[in-house]
Structures are given as structure tokens and as C-alpha cells.
């Protein structure tokens, strides 16, 4: 009963007007606002790690997926106020962009009422009058998502959402169900973007078939991430699923060649996320491809980011706890200062320090490169892209900066 009175009733909730899709960053000069401190915060939300799926490549443990605590709305309110207190003191009256990137776990499994409560809190704290521009990006597997969520994507999501597409990693049944849900969403007028981790299953279909498929689905933007080594997959799974970076670059080059062909043929292939990232970083200062714009919020209030040990083994590095500290204390903690220093110095990798692509490669979270392989920045793909004569005629600047 307590829960019923504490959570807002979704049926009574008044949704905001459906907004035309515009990008939050359009109103600010992002060459001047490239870090949390400068007023650009990609607030990665992981207030629960719960997920009922069993993807073989998941970076979470089974226990985290099934039993993760869910941050209460009361604690979330404390967190949001602390971020607002920081900006109110440091950037009063100045523009501030906060992109809430709902990640997880499976964010939608926190439940509809929880989300509506969170949106309401965010709306009431991060107001336009204080200079905030807010955007919600929601990443979902889309598998067990009820129809009511489409309304959330239309309104709070500004008519869009992101969903993961990892080929047959999750099995045929999943893809079939996912395909149906994506088509339903696009038919409903939503813009759908995908995020894929480049794995051996995707290689079986190959980049040409994958891009044709995503084009047919009407995907707006498709991102392809390198597969990272972590505690969950180290050993057999990593060897089985993860292609080396040299194969990643081959995949991306072939994918982009096909993208160019589709564009010439008058089709509408999705914008390739990495293509947009690489081109847009060229127009931005050097700190634009380091992890100074984001922090991940965990259920217990820890602010963390992916970090690496023993070379390139990924783990979550904590910088402080926002329920116990102020936001400024977390940002200026010894751990975060050390982390940011490591980003600026490109992990002191000899090949990176002297590399002419260090400001627009896709490394982002800096780590050691793997001996005998291409670097984690996919330099070969970056070089290929920068030398390609056709790209600049096909890519609209406003699209890549919005990416
Ligand atoms: C774990 S899900 C979380 C969000 C949501 N539940 C979903 O399915 O979209 C996010 C995505 O991270 C990516 N991912 C998983 N393991 C990864 C790894 N080892 N390296 C890089 N990306 C990975 C996959 O594309 C996965 O679908
Ligand atoms: S492209 Fe490769 S070598 Fe160059 S900076 Fe990026 S990760 Fe380092």
C-alpha cells in the first residue's frame, strides 16, 4: 500500500505535449561546453541493473540482473538536487545541457510508475528558467516492453529511443520478436536508433546484409561498438564472441562502403554512429573524445566510469558516492582527477601520444592497446574515413553534430 501512495498513478499522469525532434545540443556552442564542468553532462542512468534476459555476452552478473536494488525515487531526488546545487553555484544563469541516458540493466524493468515519477522530478528540478536543456535517451532491449512505453518515447523521448541489436547473440526467437516491435514503433512514427556490439554473430551475416536489414527497418542511426573484455566474458566467451580490432575496422570499412552505395542509390540507410562521431570530433576541441562529459550512476549512489586493469580488462571505477558527498566532491575526487588526467594523456600509450588521429578516434575510454592487433581507436577505419572523398558530399553537418 505504501508503494501505491508513494508512486504516481500512471493513469493520472499528464504527459507533456509530443515535441518535434530537436537535439538538445542545438542551442549551445558545444565547442565551449565539452565537459560536465562546462555545463554538458551525459548523465548515464543505471539506478537499477535488473534485466530478465540472459544474453550470453552481458557485462552484468546473473545476480546483478535478477537482484539489483532499485534506487528509490526519494534517493533519486537527493541525487538530482545535488547535481542542480552544483550547477546553480557554478553556472548560475548560464546554459546547461543534461542528457539523461537511461542504460541499465534493462531500464524499462524499473517499471512505468517509477519512470513517470523520475521524469516528473527531473522536470521540476532542471527547469528552463534555470538555464537547463534536458534530453532523455532511453536504451531498451524492447523485448518485454509494453505498448504504454511508446507514449513515453513520443513525449519524454522526443519521439525517439535506442534499442540494442546484437544479431543472433540472443537467438532467433528474440530477433523475430524484436523485429516486430521495431516495425510497430516506426509505424507509430517513432525514430528508432540501434546500438550493436560487433561480434562474430554479426560477421556471419556480414556488414552488407546487416545494413540492408537496418535500412529496411527504417533505423535512424546505427552504432557499432567494439566488443570489450570484462570479468563476465574473460576467457572462452571473449575468444568466442569478440573479433580483434583489425576485423572491427574491416567490418566498419565494408559497412561504410555499402552505406555510400545506398546513399548514391537514393536509399535512406541509418547514419552510422561511429562515422558521425569521428567526423564531428574533428570540429571540436581535443577533450571531445575523452570521457569528461559523462558519469554512470549506480543503484547505491556510486558515480563510476569504465576503467581498465591488466591492459584492457574493463571494470567500473568508482569516483565517489553522491548520496554521501556533494557533486563537486565527486567531480574533484582524487580518483576522478587521476582518471581525467589519464584520458588527456591518452593513457601514455606511445602510439597514441604521437598519433594524428588521437582527437577523433573512437577510443573514448582510454586503455592500453592489445599487442599484435590494431588499436582500440580503430585508426585504420578513421584513416580510411578521413581520406574518403565521397563522405563529405553525403554527410550533413547538422546530422553529425546532433549525433
Ligand atoms: C547490456 S545492454 C543494456 C541496455 C538494454 N537492456 C538493452 O538490451 O539494450 C547494452 C548493450 O551493451 C552492449 N554490450 C554488451 N556487452 C558488451 C561488451 N562486452 N562490450 C561492448 N558492448 C557490450 C550490447 O550491445 C548490449 O546490447
Ligand atoms: S587512433 Fe589508435 S593509435 Fe591513434 S590515438 Fe586513437 S587509439 Fe591511439
DSSP secondary structure string for all residues of 95-133: -EEEEEEE-SS-GGGG-HHHHHHHHHHHHHHS-GGGTEE
Query: 221 pLDDT exceeds 70?
Result: yes
Relative to the alpha carbon of 165, which ligand is closest? 1
Model confidence at 373, in pLDDT bands (50, 70, 90)? very high
Averaged pLDDT, 89-96 = 93
CB 176 within 8 A of CB 165: no
Cell, residue 170: 540472443
| pLDDT for the residue numbered 212 | 98
16 or 49: which carries more pLDDT confidence? 49
Going across the sheet that includes 294-297, the strands are: 229-230, 313-321, 302-309, 294-297, 40-45, 96-102, 132-140, 160-164, 191-197, 221-225, 271-272
The model's pLDDT over 122-158, given as tens digits with 9 standing for 90+, comes to: 999 999 999 999 999 999 999 888 888 999 999 999 9
- Which of 136-158 are b and which e, b meaning 16 or more Cβ less than 10 Å from the residue's Cβ? bbbbbbbbebeeebbbbbbbbbb
| pLDDT for the residue numbered 167 | 85
Average pLDDT score over the chain: 89
The model's pLDDT over 377-397, given as tens digits with 9 standing for 90+, comes to: 999 999 999 999 899 888 876
| pLDDT for the residue numbered 8 | 39
CA of 197 to the centre of ligand 1 (A): 7
169 or 220: which carries more pLDDT confidence? 220
| pLDDT for the residue numbered 317 | 97
Model confidence at 13, in pLDDT bands (50, 70, 90)? low
| pLDDT for the residue numbered 364 | 87
Query: 20 pLDDT exceeds 60?
Result: no
| pLDDT for the residue numbered 61 | 87
| Phi, psi (degrees; rounded to nearest 5) at 287 | -75, 0
| Ligand 1, pocket residues at CB < 6 Å | 51, 57-59, 103-104, 106, 139-141, 163-164, 166, 195-197, 225, 227-228, 230, 233
| pLDDT for the residue numbered 170 | 82
| pLDDT for the residue numbered 2 | 30
| Phi, psi (degrees; rounded to nearest 5) at 344 | -60, -35
| pLDDT for the residue numbered 34 | 83
The whole-angstrom separation of Cα 358 and Cα 366 is 11
Q: Whose CA is nearest to atom 1 of ligand 2?
A: 379
Model confidence at 59, in pLDDT bands (50, 70, 90)? confident
| Ligand 2, pocket residues at CB < 6 Å | 346, 349, 351-352, 355, 357-358, 361, 363, 375-377, 379, 382
The whole-angstrom separation of Cα 397 and Cα 381 is 20
| pLDDT for the residue numbered 398 | 63
21 or 36: which carries more pLDDT confidence? 36
260 or 60: which carries more pLDDT confidence? 260
- Percentage above 90 pLDDT, the chain: 72
Q: Say whether 369 sits in a helix, a strand or coil.
A: coil
| pLDDT for the residue numbered 57 | 81
The whole-angstrom separation of Cα 385 and Cα 275 is 8
| pLDDT for the residue numbered 4 | 32
Would strands 313-321 and 302-309 be described as parallel, antiparallel, or unpaired? antiparallel
Q: Whose CA is nearest to atom 1 of ligand 1?
A: 58
Amino acid at each position: 500500500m505504501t508503494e501505491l501512495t508513494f508512486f504516481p498513478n500512471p493513469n493520472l499522469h499528464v504527459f507533456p505535449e509530443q515535441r518535434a525532434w530537436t537535439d538538445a545540443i542545438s542551442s549551445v556552442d558545444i565547442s565551449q561546453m565539452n565537459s560536465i564542468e562546462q555545463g554538458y553532462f551525459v548523465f548515464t542512468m543505471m539506478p537499477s541493473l535488473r534485466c530478465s534476459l540472459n544474453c550470453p555476452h552481458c557485462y552484468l552478473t546473473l545476480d546483478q540482473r535478477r537482484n539489483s536494488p532499485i534506487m528509490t525515487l526519494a534517493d533519486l531526488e537527493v541525487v538530482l538536487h545535488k547535481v542542480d546545487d552544483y550547477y546553480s553555484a557554478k553556472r548560475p544563469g548560464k546554459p546547461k545541457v543534461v542528457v539523461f541516458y537511461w542504460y541499465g540493466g534493462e531500464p524499462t524493468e524499473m517499471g512505468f510508475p517509477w519512470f513517470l515519477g523520475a521524469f516528473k522530478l527531473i522536470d521540476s528540478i532542471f527547469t528552463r528558467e534555470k538555464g537547463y536543456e534536458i534530453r532523455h535517451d532511453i536504451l531498451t532491449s524492447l523485448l518485454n516492453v509494453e505498448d504504454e512505453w511508446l507514449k513515453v518515447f513520443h513525449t519524454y523521448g522526443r519521439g525517439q529511443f535506442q534499442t540494442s541489436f546484437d544479431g543472433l547473440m540472443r537467438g532467433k526467437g528474440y530477433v523475430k520478436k524484436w523485429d516486430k516491435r521495431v516495425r510497430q514503433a516506426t509505424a507509430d512514427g517513432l525514430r528508432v536508433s540501434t546500438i550493436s556490439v560487433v561480434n562474430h554473430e554479426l560477421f556471419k551475416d556480414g556488414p552488407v546484409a546487416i545494413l540492408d536489414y537496418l535500412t529496411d527497418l527504417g533505423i535512424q542511426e546505427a552504432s557499432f561498438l567494439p566488443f570489450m573484455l570484462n570479468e563476465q566474458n574473460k576467457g572462452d566467451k571473449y575468444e568466442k564472441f569478440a573479433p580483434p580490432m583489425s576485423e572491427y575496422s574491416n567490418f566498419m570499412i565494408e559497412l561504410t562502403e555499402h552505406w555510400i552505395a545506398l546513399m548514391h542509390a537514393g536509399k535512406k540507410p541509418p547514419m552510422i554512429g561511429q562515422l558521425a562521431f569521428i567526423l564531428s570530433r574533428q570540429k571540436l576541441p581535443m577533450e571531445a573524445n575523452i570521457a569528461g562529459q559523462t558519469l554512470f550512476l549506480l543503484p547505491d549512489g556510486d558515480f563510476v566510469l569504465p576503467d581498465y586493469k591488466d591492459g584492457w580488462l574493463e571494470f567500473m571505477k568508482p569516483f565517489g558516492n553522491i548520496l554521501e558527498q556533494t557533486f563537486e566532491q565527486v567531480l574533484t575526487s582524487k580518483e576522478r582527477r587521476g582518471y581525467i588526467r589519464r584520458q588527456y594523456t591518452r593513457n601514455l600509450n606511445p602510439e597514441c601520444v604521437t598519433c594524428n588521429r588521437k582527437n577523433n578516434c573512437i577510443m573514448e575510454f582510454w586503455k592500453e592497446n592489445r599487442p599484435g592487433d590494431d588499436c582500440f581507436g580503430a585508426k585504420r577505419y578513421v584513416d580510411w574515413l578521413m581520406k574518403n572523398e565521397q563522405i563529405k558530399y553525403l554527410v550533413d553537418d547538422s546530422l553529425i553534430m546532433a549525433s
